[in-house]
Amino acid sequence: MTRARSRTPVLVHLGAGVAVLLLAIPLLALLVDVPWVSLIELLSTRDSLDALRVSLIVSLLAAAISVVLGVPLAYLLARSYFPGRGILRAIVTVPLVLPPVVTGVALLSGFGRQGWFGRLFGTGLPLTTAGAVLAATIVSMPFLVISVEGAFRSGDGRLELMASSLGVGPLETFWRVSVPVARPAIVAGAVLAWARALGEFGATITFAGSVQGVTRTLPLEVVLAYEQNTDRALALSVLLLAISLAVLIALRGRFLPSR
């Protein structure tokens, strides 16, 4: 340990120090500005509580759907070889780099009242909680897929080969061998996906709108509150920060490798 530390160049320390400052300064400034005295009062308004409830429902559902659908997708990308796999991977990961507003506009074309979905079913997903969950899922699933695909890829497939030579069927092999081996990556990916879903703003406001108690999540409430009452916006921001930090710290200790 000591030796490793003494080898770290000064320049690296310097870079790391500046990085910590850049990340920490806005958070510290936020904590200084927050009206602590009236915090509970500001957070217990009907609007704030509604936003908290919608945020928790939407982000947890988005993370759950990301796991249920993303793990099979990651497995396919890691273990199967088929033409167009590179293109598929690009499609899966493009929401990572696309501005969320663009994702929201694309969602309108696909699932809006005037979009494909609307023409098929006569109604769209905008202004519904399902729409907010869809927007959050699309922007957060790539985090899970990337994390889990790496884990599936780094396993060399020998365990799976062994299982199938013992007469275990492919589905059972996937469920009993591949998934448990990739579990730390699945948990890490699920946490990342959840965190991204919790912070989601652009796709949600563009696609799902800002309906109180239905699609208005905490980030949307922060932006709205910022127009009316800066104190409430700050209080909501600190709430969002507290939830995120609590979950990231709790899970880091329990599930993620903390070398």
Partner 1 sequence: MSLVLLTPACSSQGLTVDVYAGSSLTNVLQSAEQMYESRNEGVDIRLNLGGSNTLSRQIAEGGGADVFIPADAGVLDDLPAGRVGGEPIALATNRLVMIVPAGSDIPSAGGEPTPTEVLDWAGSLARCATGVPCGDATDRWITASSGLPSPGTITIENNVRAVLTKVRTNEVDAGLVYSTDALVAEGDVEVVPLGSEGPHTSIVGVIIGPTDPDGDSMGRMFLDYLASDEGRALFRDAGFGQP
Structure tokens at 88: 């598929």
Stretch that binds partner 1, among 16-24, 77-85, 191-199, 202-210 (CB under 8 A): 202-210
Among 223, 241, 248, 256, binds partner 1 (CB under 8 A): 223
Using rule CB under 8 A, residue 130 touches partner 1: no
Among 70, 95, 124, 219, binds partner 1 (CB under 8 A): 124
Using rule CB under 8 A, residue 127 touches partner 1: yes
| 8 Å CB contact between 100 and 217 | no
Shortest distance, position 25 Cβ to partner 1, whole Å: 16
Shortest distance, position 170 Cβ to partner 1, whole Å: 44
Q: How many angstroms separate the CA atoms of 212 and 128, rounded?
A: 11
Shortest distance, position 224 Cβ to partner 1, whole Å: 5
Q: How many angstroms separate the CA atoms of 218 and 188, rounded?
A: 23
Q: Which of 94, 75, 91 is nearest to 189 (CA)?
A: 75
Burial class (CB in 10 A: 0-12, 13-18, 19+), 1: exposed
Using rule CB under 8 A, residue 214 touches partner 1: yes
Structure tokens at 250: 């709790």
Closer CB to partner 1, 95 or 131, in the complex: 131
Among 224, 234, 239, 240, binds partner 1 (CB under 8 A): 224
